[in-house]
Amino acid sequence: MNRIKLIDLDDQTRLDALAKKSEIIGKIGKRTREKDIKNIKLAYDLYKLSHGNPDKILAGMADKPISRKMGGALAHYYKNPTVDINFIDTMREEFSIRTCPMCGSLGSGTLDHYLPQKHNKAFTIFSLNLVPSCLCNSKKGVRLKGKKTNQRLLHPYFDDCLQQRLVKIDIHHPDTTPTVSSHVLVPQTDADYAAVEFHFDTLVKKKVEMYALENFIDFCRRPGDLISALQRNPRDKNHLRRIIEDELESKDNYFKSKNNWVSLLLFALLDDNILTWLASKLCAPGREPNSPLVARKTSGSSLFLL
């Protein structure tokens, strides 16, 4: 979950240049071809005017169909971009972003279609519909919106709320059998609430909770591996809070996102109950630096004991 920026790639001019030189598109009958190009350009305008909101885009697409042949041609050029749309290759190469803009996991992996290509062929080579993402995006299938008003996936190029920290993970029973839960931080009265909650529930919640639980257990084993300043014991709870806050700021900056999964775990450690518990362990007199916080027999979360 991250807001990212894309320079204006003038998709309409590029589409014209591609169509003019393309043998495949040239074989489509003139009237069909011209109607297809016109409808694709109208669809591009609609996408921008709708700020990437799938509800609004899909509602406006019924009168902008394109032929099967044009859909096939666009799919071909998405895989094999010509010089006029070589931004697709550039995006594939340059988008080695440190956190997935769709889910916040560490690393983007691939370039994917925000509105799935299969059902939205007009946007096959549209730059604003191409987002870097990990596998989360392809796994979402066609579930772009929910049944209730404003429930939709957030869009990394359009939704400014992605710049804020949107989620809090809560850690329970750290001393015995840790479990985690999570909730969005946006107030229910906020205009973005339904979209943030739907996006989080659809793409992120299950995976980030697993990540947080496993990494919290690892943190309890060797705190200094997650936060290097904790290779030495903090003086007291306030000192510990400052150490975690510094680490959080550093990770927000490094990943250029407040919703990357490392930051979400660090933010969870700043919860007052957890901080008090951590301080009782880390600041205990005579504690050996970077030693386990609790003695656990198993990881509690994994089927594999490594």
d(CA 244, CA 267): 8
Tokens of 2: 């991250």
Stretch that binds Zn ion, among 105-113, 139-147, 227-235, 259-267 (CB under 5 A): 105-113
Burial zone of 301 (CB within 10 Å; 0-12 exposed, 13-18 middle, 19+ buried): middle
Report whether 203 contacts 219 (CB < 8 A). Answer: no
176: three-class secondary structure by DSSP: coil
φ and ψ at residue 4, rounded to 5 degrees: -125, 160
Q: Smallest distance, Å, CB 134 to Zn ion?
A: 3
Sign of CA dihedral 7, 12, 15, 16: negative
- Is 105:167 a contact under the CB 8 Å cutoff? no
- Give least dist CB 105 to Zn ion, A: 5
Cα–Cα distance, 145 to 155 (Å, whole number): 12
Residue 292 is given by DSSP the state -
Report residue 79 as tokens.
């895989």
Cβ contact 64:39 at 8 Å: yes
204 binds Zn ion (CB under 5 A): no
Q: Does 102 bind Zn ion (CB under 5 A)?
A: yes
Binding span for Zn ion by CB under 5 A among 66-74, 101-109, 170-178, 194-202: 101-109
**Closer Cβ to Zn ion, 137 or 233, answer by number:** 137
Which segment (68-76, 129-137, 191-199, 296-304) binds Zn ion by CB under 5 A? 129-137
User: What's the closest the beta carbon of residue 143 comes to Zn ion, in angstroms?
Assistant: 15
Q: How far is the CB of 116 from Zn ion (least distance, A)?
A: 15
Stretch of 51-59, 97-105, 267-275, 285-293 contacting Zn ion, by CB under 5 A: 97-105
Count of C-beta atoms within a 10 Å radius of residue 203: 25
Q: Nearest distance from residue 137's CB to Zn ion, in Å?
A: 6
Stretch that binds Zn ion, among 6-14, 40-48, 130-138, 283-291 (CB under 5 A): 130-138
Dist CA 214 CA 96 (whole Å): 25
Q: Least distance from C-beta 138 to Zn ion, angstroms?
A: 10
x-marked contacts with Zn ion along 55-94 as a string, rule CB under 5 A: ----------------------------------------
Residues in the chain: 306
- Say if CB 282 and CB 224 are below 8 A apart: no
DSSP annotation of 287: P
Among the listed residues 103, 166, 196, 244, the single contact to Zn ion using CB under 5 A = 103
Binding span for Zn ion by CB under 5 A among 133-141, 159-167, 233-241, 268-276? 133-141
Interface with Zn ion (CB under 5 A), residue total: 7
Kindly state whether residue 136 participates in binding Zn ion, applying the rule CB under 5 A. yes
Figure out which of the listed residues 100, 226, 266, 268 binds Zn ion, where binding follows CB under 5 A: 100
| Residue 269 structure tokens | 């450690």
**Least separation, in Å, of the C-beta of 107 and Zn ion?**
9
Shortest Å distance, C-beta 100 to Zn ion: 3
Could you list the residues that contact Zn ion (CB under 5 A)?
A: 100, 102-103, 105, 133-134, 136
